[in-house]
Amino acid sequence: MTRRPKVVVYDYGSGNLRSAERALVRAGADVEVTADQVAAVRCDGLVVPGVGAFAACVNGIEDVGGRAVIGDRVDRERPVLGICVGLQVLFEDSEEDDRATKGLGVLPGTVRRLRDADVLPHMGWNTVDVRDDSVLLADVAPEDRFYFVHSYAACVGAPDYVAIDEITGWSTHGTRFAAVVERGSLAGTQFHPEKSGDVGAVLLAAWVATL
């Protein structure tokens, strides 16, 4: 019998943990929701969820020792997947907090407001422009849509294109922004794959298959 990859959904006080847990189980993982540092270090894949404000998520991660845990995993090229604000905190800082709260800094750049959007938050279904070499989006069709809920994102509009090599999926809501980031074992989505139905399940299964 093939061993299911062990995945930890990092419980640092952010919401939406159980829906992520259920989606990852369906994707083929053995999932634990925990703040335990040992489990977070040793698991095959660590999922960093994120709901709410940038500063609150960073502070929650700090409170459970997550900055060191996530940094260690990135340094050792151990898989990490950030979701929504869980992706944003991987960058250096955010305009949402007037750049007062420092992100984890494992990706370069500042998270910025979707300043050209007519309506915020960006809430609903949107397509993603996929780069040819994306692993997570390899089986995603141009018409497939993912579920977004956010007012800020990484790499928003010119001249703020940074970390170009890491961005494998773009979306647009008023302004073009990074929807998917992949750099070796480090990955993240601005949308919520666990709330994106069948296409989200495809993406999570692709990630679990890499573990």
**Active site residues per annotation:** 84, 192, 194
Question: Using CA atoms, how far apart are residues 96 and 111, in angstroms rounded to an integer?
Answer: 8
Strand ranges inside the chain, DSSP E: 6-10, 30-34, 45-48, 80-83, 93-94, 110-113, 122-127, 129-130, 145-150, 152-154, 167-173, 175-183, 186-189
Task: State in Å, rounded, how far the first CA of the chain is from the last one.
Answer: 17
Strand partners, 145: 127
Question: Using CA atoms, how far apart are residues 98 and 51, in angstroms rounded to an integer?
Answer: 19
DSSP assignment letter at 76: T
The amino acid occupying position 15 is G
Question: Using CA atoms, how far apart are residues 157 and 150, in angstroms rounded to an integer?
Answer: 16
Edge-to-edge strand ranges of the sheet holding 93-94: 93-94, 110-113, 152-154
